[in-house]
Chains A and B, each alone.
Chain A
Amino acid sequence: MNKVIQAARGIFLWVDDRLHLTKLYESTAGHHVPQSSGSWFYVFGSATLLCFMVQVATGIMLAMVYVPSAAEAYASLEYLTFHQYLGWFLRAVHYWGSNFMVGIMLLHMTQVFLFGAYKYPREITWITGVFLMVLTLGLAFTGQVMRFDEDAYWGLGIGVAILGRVPFLGEQLVNLMLGGPIIASDTLSRFFALHVFVLPGGVLAIVSLHLRMVLTKGINEYPRPGQLVQRETYDKEYAAILKKEGVPFFPKAISKDLVAASIVLFGILACASFFGPKGPLGPPNPVQIDTLPRPDFFFLWIFAVAALMPDWMESVALLGGPVIIGLFLLALPFFNGTGEKSWRRRPIAVLTVLLTYVALGLLTYLGHTSPWSPEMEAWKSDPTPKEFLAGRSPLELQGSLVIQSMQCRNCHAIDGIGGQRGPDLAAVGARLTKDQLIRQVIQGGGNMPAYGKNLSPDQVEAVVTYMVSLRPPGVTPARDSTLPGRPPLE
């Protein structure tokens, strides 16, 4: 028995001598980290990397079946989803993996920001992280194009419309993005190359640097309020922390990362199994224009911003916004590189995070509901509730028909039924006088088209008479406030 152990030891020592495994372990997985960094707050970085690995594994599998050709991509997606054994599952894991990756990356960034981990001497760790964020969002956008359906097609159109606003170089940049002057097969091939080779390669390269920085400059110790970072003293303090309470990352500090990793994997698995893959929606047929293009979850907020911004600032914000945010993030460790790290004493940092999350959350919600979009089918399919028809005169009923047939309902709901773009008409008679209504219908304004040319005087009279009758029971019609004491119209 002793001999066997001796022999095994000999073999191990030989392998170790040739491969330097112990040295590799000591300088990587076994490197010392502050015990305080073995915290639940420190699990998001490894979890994001885990998501990336899931994406690489499932992505390679999908690429074995997927055909990146404009003519055949859609059919191959359908084949993957409905015929290929477990194809639906791989598509679902890849789709949900991307959602998890973007979400957890955001959490990681938030934690790093709140814990001051971007401060001296970890500037480059942060900067590489910013580039990883850009690459991850790039992967998310190009991945959305891989699901080559109607949303992908019109999503590319949105990209063109944004890029086309770049001064001087817009046309060239659009051509570069599309691989030609129009969305076609070259576009998909180009996005495939980006999604499968260029961007993941970039992630691998920059993640290596990112992790190298974690090893050389160390993981941020759990910040304590009042413990300030100073360039002159920090390195010594960190060395002292490592000496006093340093533990090897593996196996002493990795336990929570492992638990978090399993939660992420089970999460992806659960979402993939319960909700399945997304789409593909309708085929990428430009002639089929009965479509409601929407971006994937992580870009809905941009979709909402584009709807809500005043048009004069739109080009500036769409093109300048990303540059300003990027520059701010890159510059952050330089103008705020020392001092307090704990979020408990950094109210502006906490407010920034809260504001960002509230804004992103609200914009995503709005992007999801998109109340600014007309309901294209409302005029054909939405009923007029009967209390808005009962007891009306023939002229008023005629008006209600005009409202329906002239597509007014696409933008105007009646009692919540119909489009949300314009105001609900349920009580419009109590808000606007007959004269105001006539003016509004004929001239438009306030984001409503003018109907003067498209309605005959009879139709205007009918519509306005009907709208005056749209009031809650017992409420008199709106009166002109410049005519005091004027009796109600009815």
Chain B
Amino acid sequence: MDFVAILSIFVLACFVGYYVVWSVTPALHTPLMAVTNAISSVIIVGALIAAAASGAGAAGASSKWLGLLGVVLASVNIFGGFAVTQRMLAMYRKKERPAVHK
């Protein structure tokens, strides 16, 4: 893909993000931050590439270990982020019954 094609995706995604985020209800802003945190760990893709690469020499080896460390950090975020979001969202409940009047 050339740079302009990537830039187009990026710019359009910014607009999508703008409209999608404005439609998020303020009550769910904390879960929003938690889940955006989890999905921004898609950076794990880069870490996996580094960890899987067979580089020659010291630079290649350190690149691999940096990648593995990156995989650990991003995994903490992915699993932790989605799990904590799930935990929060499960707490949001509607009124189960109308208020009892005496």
**Do these two chains really belong together in a complex?**
no
Interface residues, chain A, with chain B CB atoms under 8 Å away? none
Interface residues, chain B, with chain A CB atoms under 8 Å away? none
